[in-house]
Structure 1
Amino acid sequence: MLKRSHGVTLIELIIGIVVLAISLSIITSVLGPLYVKSADPWHQVRAAELGHSLMNEILAKSFDENSNRSGSLLRCDEAGAQACTAQADFGADCLHGGSSCPGGPYEQRSQFDDVDDFDGLNVSGDQISNIFGNDPRMAEVYRSYSLQISVSYDNPLTKRVLIEVTTPTGAVIDFAALKGNW
């Protein structure tokens, strides 16, 4: 008498493969977004470092082009002092002076001497550098980041500085501060 062997039929094998495929697709669809999001905290820390560093650089500058940098008691817009720069004139200053500067040349970041010079500064990728522009490691570290800076009057005595740092994942992290005219 022949013994019947107990094995797996082709139908059972196909059903097992289908069940395994369904379970693996469910697991990967749940874990996939977590894998993508796992880099977010890393990018947020880098963006915070970049934003804080740039904000410190900006706030260390003078309130206005017409502010006395020698520690005078007069501030721009006070009686007997020059008027503060109009918001329409914010941005890098013309190197040859005057209010009109068609075609430049304009100050470079290392020459910025007041807060509103940073208005409209957009930097990304390999343009991100330290204040002196001489640290190539920064361009490598922040290769996929971008910065946008805007400066506006919050009121006649303060300017609002807003820095938007965009991470490689597209998240935008805002930094804001006020620079006072005192």
Structure 2
Amino acid sequence: MEVSSKGFSLVELVVGIVVMGVVLSGIIPIMGSLEIKSAEPVFQVKADLLANRIYNQMKIRAYDEKSDHQGGECRCGENISYRGVEVCNLGACTGTSDFGPDGDEKNNPRPENFNDVDDFDTTSLCGLGSLSAYCYGNSNRCGEGNSSCNKINTALCGNRECLIPATFFVDNSHNDSCTLSGESADIACNSFENFFVKIRVTGENVNQTGLDSVTVKKITISVLSPRDDTFVYQFIRSNY
């Protein structure tokens, strides 16, 4: 009785393994890149929400430390008289070099204590109060012997500026329930864990045909995601 042979020969098995290895070597990197890209929309949405949250905090603050904080009838940088009587004269607005927390705000740097938009400038925030142990920049900004102060993104930090943990800006209870490191009982805090923020406030002159030049403040919010992606947002705040 004649029996037909079934299955694969040793040569066929070896060839099959080699072919499968070649195929997988091309597929695995593609699958890996797709997995990484699948997280990008999540980080983008979180960065958008975080930037919008900070923007909402800043837009309700006064334009300047020297602005009229009691009704806003007068603006810094303008002198108005009516029938020989001086009505408004708050003096010049704060110079760019002095942007950052003012007075008591330096002793207790918290977003709820900031009363004007340039208080949020993180260049001045780094190293103030409780943030001295949680700033992220180079050794020139952080100070000697501060092991928890590390540069995490040279391109974003540069040689002068630092990053602030996002949890600093998302504390809902205003009682430090958001810890600057580790987990928190606040869902909003945990949602932005390992996100970092840099905010720059600069003075910009706006020229319009037929009108005098107007100085405004340009706010640039840079959000660094856990994957080291940087998302940049900008808006203008005029003197009102």
For residue 2 of structure 1, report the CA deviation from its aligned partner. Answer: 5.9
User: How many residue pairs were aligned?
Assistant: 175
- Alignment partner of 1:138 is 2:188: yes
| CA distance in 2: counterparts of 1:22 and 1:45, whole angstroms | 37
The ranges of structure 1 where at least 4 consecutive aligned residues each deviate by more than 3 angstroms after the TM superposition are: 1-4, 125-128
Q: Aligned runs of 1:110-129 on 2, under 5 Å?
A: 110-120=112-122, 121=125, 122-124=163-165, 126-129=167-170
Question: Is contact 2:76–2:91 with CA below 8 Å preserved after alignment?
Answer: yes
Q: Aligned runs of 1:24-63 on 2, under 5 Å?
A: 24-63=24-63
> Relative contact order (alpha carbons < 8 A, sep ≥ 6): 1 or 2 greater?
1
Could you say what secondary structure the match of 1:82 adopts?
coil
Residue deviations 1:88-127, cap 9 Å, x none? 111111219xxxxxxx525432210001111124421654
TM-score (norm 2): 0.66
For residue 62 of structure 1, report the CA deviation from its aligned partner. Answer: 0.1
State the partner residue of 2:218: 160
Runs (5+) with no aligned partner, structure 2:
80-88, 126-162, 179-185, 206-213
State the partner residue of 1:10: 10
CA RMSD of aligned residues (A): 2.2
Q: Which amino acid aligns with 2:99?
A: F
| CA distance in 1: counterparts of 2:168 and 2:17, whole angstroms | 52
| CA distance in 2: counterparts of 1:73 and 1:146, whole angstroms | 36
Tell me which structure has the larger Cα radius of gyration.
1
Q: Which amino acid aligns with 2:228?
A: G
TM-score (norm 1): 0.85
